[in-house]
Amino acid sequence: MDPKIMADTLWTLITAMLVFFMNMGFACVESGFARSKNCVNILSKNFIVFAISTVAFWLIGWGLMFGDGNSLFGTNGLWMIGGADNSPETGDAYQGAYSAIAWTGVPLLAKFFFQLVFAGTAATIVSGAVAERIKYISFILFSFLLVAFIYPLSGHWIWGGGWLAGLGMWDFAGSTVVHSVGGWAALAGVIVLGPRLGKFGADGSINAIPGHNLALATIGAFVLWLGWFGFNPGSTMAADPGLIAHICVTTNMAAATGILGATITSWLLLKKPDLGMTINGCLAGLVAITAPCAFVGVGSSAIIGLLAGIIVVLAVIMFDRIRIDDPVGALSVHLVNGVFGTLCVGLFAQDWVSPGTTGNGLFFGGGTALLRSQIIGIAAVGAFVFLAALLFWSLIKATIGLRVSLKEEIEGLDIGEHGNFAYPDFSIRKAWFSATHGGPASNSGHVSSRVREEVLT
Amino acid sequence: MDPKIMADTLWTLITAMLVFFMNMGFACVESGFARSKNCVNILSKNFIVFAISTVAFWLIGWGLMFGDGNSLFGTNGLWMIGGADNSPETGDAYQGAYSAIAWTGVPLLAKFFFQLVFAGTAATIVSGAVAERIKYISFILFSFLLVAFIYPLSGHWIWGGGWLAGLGMWDFAGSTVVHSVGGWAALAGVIVLGPRLGKFGADGSINAIPGHNLALATIGAFVLWLGWFGFNPGSTMAADPGLIAHICVTTNMAAATGILGATITSWLLLKKPDLGMTINGCLAGLVAITAPCAFVGVGSSAIIGLLAGIIVVLAVIMFDRIRIDDPVGALSVHLVNGVFGTLCVGLFAQDWVSPGTTGNGLFFGGGTALLRSQIIGIAAVGAFVFLAALLFWSLIKATIGLRVSLKEEIEGLDIGEHGNFAYPDFSIRKAWFSATHGGPASNSGHVSSRVREEVLT
Amino acid sequence: MDPKIMADTLWTLITAMLVFFMNMGFACVESGFARSKNCVNILSKNFIVFAISTVAFWLIGWGLMFGDGNSLFGTNGLWMIGGADNSPETGDAYQGAYSAIAWTGVPLLAKFFFQLVFAGTAATIVSGAVAERIKYISFILFSFLLVAFIYPLSGHWIWGGGWLAGLGMWDFAGSTVVHSVGGWAALAGVIVLGPRLGKFGADGSINAIPGHNLALATIGAFVLWLGWFGFNPGSTMAADPGLIAHICVTTNMAAATGILGATITSWLLLKKPDLGMTINGCLAGLVAITAPCAFVGVGSSAIIGLLAGIIVVLAVIMFDRIRIDDPVGALSVHLVNGVFGTLCVGLFAQDWVSPGTTGNGLFFGGGTALLRSQIIGIAAVGAFVFLAALLFWSLIKATIGLRVSLKEEIEGLDIGEHGNFAYPDFSIRKAWFSATHGGPASNSGHVSSRVREEVLT
């Protein structure tokens, strides 16, 4: 056995496991940032979503994304996974159905496993944005459709040998392929769903609805940060010592400066260093460095992360202003910074980092050609995913329905959807919901911690 | 240094670390599924059990299990670990005391570390089933006896070159060797201990006793799922690219379909998709695929997981009906599905997956010979472990006692056994215990959330 | 590509990721052991500290520690990281700026990443000891100074080719370089800060202040234990099969016997097996085996861990008696056992474990030369770090201030420093603070669970 194939396979599988673990990170961040009355529902969604993704990607998604075919989608090797797995271990000409991913010599099922955990990530991004009002079954159905059809199509364009790859667009580990795809799908869902009751007052007020468990959210953030050491360095799908070490450092650097950027920005704008913003700054830095991690220098990664941290705070404020209700900041993190990170390839890329790939970006004398490809890719993927998701969300709404009843939303989805509480031994604080019980004070921006209903006697 | 030995050792040690991490998974699942008043006790048990296992397996268990000897137990290399570690790096004939595990060339201490974390898993399975009423010291003592004597004996029969291996029984990663052994030992303990106060009413009612923290339980489930990527693929103890990639995919597939099977079953039978059932469905799928993961195709793994998810829900209901009180569902997960998974080798095995091992199972034209060996192995291990555990549990009960006092059980084991609370800052809801305070309402099946006592003023 | 370099790099990066994950372990242990009113602050500190460490070590620390220079600090390769990365892959004479770490052939950025996560650990040790009263900005500033200047200087002496390395002092994975450095810096901070309000009564009483979430603390302990399988075995920075397997086993063994030592000791001294002591016993065993893990046999590691577990319980009691307020036991774990573990090299080392390094220690016939070097190293590092930290802490106190206001300390740092609660949905128990509201009962040693203030209405 070729030692390189052994090392490549170890690296691919171990980093895939780290990416799998990000499911736990998302579960913790999202449930921690939401209210206790919806905790079981969010945990359930984040737990089942990878099961759904596994089945959807195995049955349909993988073949559409990586199967040989045309520039829009794969047409070979559809339905489950199969065909020859002969290259490049044997040195033969590749005889399988997935030429676009034949550049790595790891076994076919290692490629599938690695790509599966990426597909699952896109689906789990959606769950946070639509939290606290979506029906369980509707979320499950959309997740299947996303992983079976939407994600693999746009993914084929970039990673499956499709038209954007041909155009010279580069997205190393998926700022666009994974994160902004999840983000666009989430944006469509949030628009179709509408905001949570109480988030935006009739008088134009914007109410913060604090998360119920910041320890849980912080655990999630650490797990996601860890998982990103699989996400980015693992995307080499090969144990290339110099490159994987480089990507570990750029990835970590962007997370660090993302933390600093968001913390300082929230300190200045909100008067206090908000932990939620610090966490989202970390994730923003990680999302932003995902596309360029293998193409930019360490110093550039520090700048990219810092900017991402600033951007995410401004984006959270912006989405509130335009009355888009995203309970966990998923749009600000994954959509906005997915776009930003993809642009950064066109700005910060340096040829020496991965010779023969991007060439130099705009800031390093490479001109605007690369940046133009990146912009076309961002726009094309955004338009397709947003519209396709809008269609699927609308179909679900028109058939089985999308949103729980008002009564269920007030009582909490845990009882309505699942029949139990997350924390039955604990006394949950009594509060009331302004829209129901009225009173002008409860509509002001400062009673956010009281926009909560009496659930337990 | 042979590159293969380097890669094999990396794989073995890293996957062993993942299996070690399952201790945290069990701690979180078990404490999350139990009441807050017993949380410190459960955490303590799950934390100390791996320390006990380490000492017990090092001093006694390893040699009994893997030492050369007769078909029942090892007689060489007993007491700690030692002897030559010459093969197969050097290519020499093996000169050590542990021939049955000489097939892998990793260093002796890597083998020991990998097997140790498996032994620890068997012990930690027990802790959930006996939770909320067992004395701390008695659990510690039983854990030592299990890992020092019971686990290694039945393990020797299958993995140590004993009589079941000779008979042609196959258990790749331990559905029987680890999971059902833990399950049988737990079943004996549950019978000797009896149910928790309030679980079964004098009128025949069965009361659900909800767990106190489903976020904690979900964290645990994700960690266990991650850990299984060590448990199953790591059991190659070699960086065999094709095989470890295959096992990653079959393992994950069974977890996914186990989730779906249990969720759908609980939705149909219990009217709501219960998160506890979803979690146990995942674990059931993982336990069931543990024996066959290296012998079956991906499609088969999907079926095995799906069936395991259905079985685990039915098993939970069945154990309740026969008044076996297992607070976390450990018997349904590890015992029932450990048996089921071992049978699945005889049903679903295909020769092409690991040529020269199981051959084909019944469903693939292999006849019933393999299935018969599997059944003999299941029965022999079950009978031995159950009786041996029954003996040890009874001896402990007769000497130092097994169960805490009624007063301590009502107040919670945290105060009685450890002298502190898990969550001293939080208000715990006031409730009462029906058997003490009476009232017919509190004996009905619908007041389960009130079968709880006032602990904190 | 040389297969050895590939395997070495995989090992170095993966173990570095595990050490990174220890940040989450520290966050959970420290916040779990503190009160809920300070939880957001502790999580914030533990989250941002690695971001600060990343920037500080990249900009300044790395070069000071590993740059070629004199026996006190590096003078080449300062400011970020750079220079040739030619050895030993190429077999050329090393042409870079970091000769002291040229013994491993992994890429320069892999070395940097691995050393960075170690530097971050030293900083995070401090955060627990100074918890519940330090200003957020002051902690951030000190962390920067520690990682930029203090840690790399003493580190240069031992790991950077400085004077203690020349003297024959051995510290394999950092009982001194990391743990006692963090501990000495913390001790200085605790002294300058003073104890928390209510910890020590005017009448000489010592009040226990229980942590708010032992499930969180236990999660942290498991994560740290896992992380140590990166910390110690990864310090080979090479995939040396025999040595890394050996270190996995000695590391785990010391954790196990540390648990047993502390549990038994607390059972005897405190009448009950305290979970907090069990956890700190595990960490104590791990800290103590960190220096000798690659130099001692498995049996010795069992003894070292057992002693560490006993020592940590006595140290906690001792620090209470001398009125040093360390909310999480960081000094007892990292400082006391960092010193103890470094001494153990001089006592338990055996030449056969890593031939050509330490030789035999005192207990194995090696005389006292090694022990003398170890003592000199401990004393020199202790004196330097303690005094330098004392200087920095005092400067911070004199300029921007070090401690929050009395009002903020009573209300909790979460509101004062960050503006939100960790658990806003939950009812926090009402209690009062004795020094404010008086009453003799509340000053007795038995009302510790009441030394808490009403935070939420």
Show the tokens assigned to C212: 């708010």
Confidence check: pLDDT of C43 > 80: yes
Helix (H, G, I), strand (E, B) or coil at C70: coil
Residue B31: how many CB atoms within 10 A of its CB?
A: 34
Residue A100: how many CB atoms within 10 A of its CB?
A: 18
CATH number of residue B264's parent domain: 1.10.3430.10
Model confidence pLDDT, tens digit, residues C310-334:
999 999 999 999 999 999 999 999 9
For chain A, give the mean pLDDT: 91
Least CA distance to B218: which residue of chain A?
A43
Sign of the torsion formed by the C-alpha atoms of B39, B43, B48 and B54: positive
Model confidence pLDDT, tens digit, residues A227-266:
999 999 999 999 999 999 999 999 999 999 999 999 999 9
Do A198 and A240 belong to one domain? Answer: yes
Whether B224 is covered by a domain: the verdict is yes
Q: Is B215:B330 a contact under the CB 8 Å cutoff? A: no
Provide the pLDDT for residue B433: 40
Do C34 and C158 belong to one domain? Answer: yes
Provide the pLDDT for residue A457: 30
Sign of the torsion formed by the C-alpha atoms of A400, A401, A406 and A412: positive
Instruction: Tell me which residue range forms the domain holding B367.
Output: 3-399
Do B439 and B319 belong to one domain? Answer: no
Please choose, from the candidates A342, A246, A233, the residue with its C-alpha nearest in 3D space to the C-alpha of residue A291: A342
Interface predicted TM-score (ipTM): 0.94
Model confidence pLDDT, tens digit, residues B178-219:
999 999 999 999 999 999 999 999 898 999 999 999 999 999
Confidence of residue C94 (pLDDT cuts 50, 70, 90): confident
Give the minimum alpha-carbon distance from C57 to chain A in angstroms, rounded to a whole number: 11
The DSSP code sequence of C384-433 is: HHHHHHHHHHHHHHHHT-SB--HHHHHH-HIIIIISS-S-TTBPBPP-B-
Do A366 and A440 belong to one domain? Answer: no
Contacts by residues C446-451 (CB-CB < 8 Å, ≥ 24 positions apart): C447/C207, C448/C207, C448/C208, C448/C209, C448/C210, C449/B421, C449/B424, C449/C210, C451/C198, C451/C207, C451/C209
**Separation of alpha carbons A13 and A338, rounded Å:** 25
B-interface mutation test, from C11, C132, C222, C293, most B Cβ less than 10 A away: C222
CA B237 to chain centre: 20
Show the tokens assigned to A63: 């073949």
Question: Which of A8, A213, A417 is closest, CB to CB, to B215?
Answer: A213
Do A356 and A277 belong to one domain? Answer: yes
Confidence check: pLDDT of C168 > 70: yes
Please choose, from the candidates C158, C148, C100, the residue with its C-alpha nearest in 3D space to the C-alpha of residue C120: C148
What values do phi and psi take at B200, rounded to 5? -120, 120
Question: Which of B14, B210, B249 is closest, CB to CB, to A109?
Answer: B249
Question: Which of C3, C4, C245 is closest, CB to CB, to B9?
Answer: C245
Do B322 and B439 belong to one domain? Answer: no
Asked whether the beta carbons of residue C214 and residue B39 sit closer than 8 angstroms, the reply is yes
Averaged pLDDT, B125-132: 96
Measure Cα distances from B249 to A231, B124, B295 in Å: 18, 26, 12
Whether B407 is covered by a domain: the verdict is no
Number of domains in chain B: 2
Whether C86 is covered by a domain: the verdict is yes
| Range with the poorest average pLDDT among B365-369, C14-18, C29-33 | B365-369
The DSSP code sequence of A212-249 is: S-HHHHHHHHHHHHHHHHHHTGGGG-S--HHHHHHHHH
Do A176 and A285 belong to one domain? Answer: yes
Q: Is B98:B154 a contact under the CB 8 Å cutoff? A: no
Asked whether the beta carbons of residue C218 and residue B14 sit closer than 8 angstroms, the reply is no
Confidence check: pLDDT of C91 > 80: no
Q: Is A155:A367 a contact under the CB 8 Å cutoff? A: no
Confidence of residue C86 (pLDDT cuts 50, 70, 90): confident
Pick left, alpha or beta for residue C194 (phi over 0 → left; psi -120 to 50 → alpha; otherwise beta).
left
Model confidence pLDDT, tens digit, residues B52-61:
999 999 999 9
Least CA distance to A302: which residue of chain C?
C55
Whether C415 is covered by a domain: the verdict is no
Model confidence pLDDT, tens digit, residues A33-86:
999 999 999 999 999 999 999 999 999 999 999 999 999 999 887 777 877 777
C-interface mutation test, from B425, B429, B430, B455, most C Cβ less than 10 A away: B425
Q: Determine the Cα angle at C208 with ends C206 and C209, to 5°.
A: 130
Do B246 and B197 belong to one domain? Answer: yes
Provide the pLDDT for residue B91: 65
Q: Give the global pTM.
A: 0.94
- List of chains touching A (3+ CB pairs within 8 A): B, C
* Residue A293 DSSP symbol: T
Do B312 and B217 belong to one domain? Answer: yes
Least CA distance to B262: which residue of chain A?
A48
Give the minimum alpha-carbon distance from C293 to chain B in angstroms, rounded to a whole number: 14
**Separation of alpha carbons A26 and A431, rounded Å:** 28
Do B256 and B208 belong to one domain? Answer: yes
**Separation of alpha carbons A152 and A65, rounded Å:** 4
Provide the pLDDT for residue A84: 76
Provide the pLDDT for residue C281: 98
Provide the pLDDT for residue A94: 82
Provide the pLDDT for residue C185: 98
Q: Is C278:C217 a contact under the CB 8 Å cutoff? A: no
Asked whether the beta carbons of residue C212 and residue B426 sit closer than 8 angstroms, the reply is yes
Whether A410 is covered by a domain: the verdict is no
Tell me which residue has tokens 């006990």: B52
* Residue A446 DSSP symbol: T
Residue B92: how many CB atoms within 10 A of its CB?
A: 10
**Separation of alpha carbons A418 and A414, rounded Å:** 5
Asked whether the beta carbons of residue A282 and residue C28 sit closer than 8 angstroms, the reply is no
| Range with the poorest average pLDDT among A270-279, A301-310, B439-448, C219-228 | B439-448
Q: Is C185:C126 a contact under the CB 8 Å cutoff? A: yes
More reliable by pLDDT, A438 or B34: B34
| pLDDT winner (highest mean) among B82-96, B236-250, C77-91 | B236-250
Please choose, from the candidates B186, B345, C91, C457, the residue with its C-alpha nearest in 3D space to the C-alpha of residue A431: C457
Whether A405 is covered by a domain: the verdict is no
Whether B70 is covered by a domain: the verdict is yes
Provide the pLDDT for residue C89: 59
A-interface mutation test, from B17, B31, B249, most A Cβ less than 10 A away: B249
Asked whether the beta carbons of residue C272 and residue B417 sit closer than 8 angstroms, the reply is yes
Do C311 and C238 belong to one domain? Answer: yes
Whether B406 is covered by a domain: the verdict is no
Provide the pLDDT for residue B440: 34
Do B277 and B353 belong to one domain? Answer: yes
Share of chain B above pLDDT 90, in %: 83
**Separation of alpha carbons A386 and A368, rounded Å:** 26
What values do phi and psi take at C253, rounded to 5? -65, -45
| Range with the poorest average pLDDT among A177-181, C213-217, C412-416 | C412-416
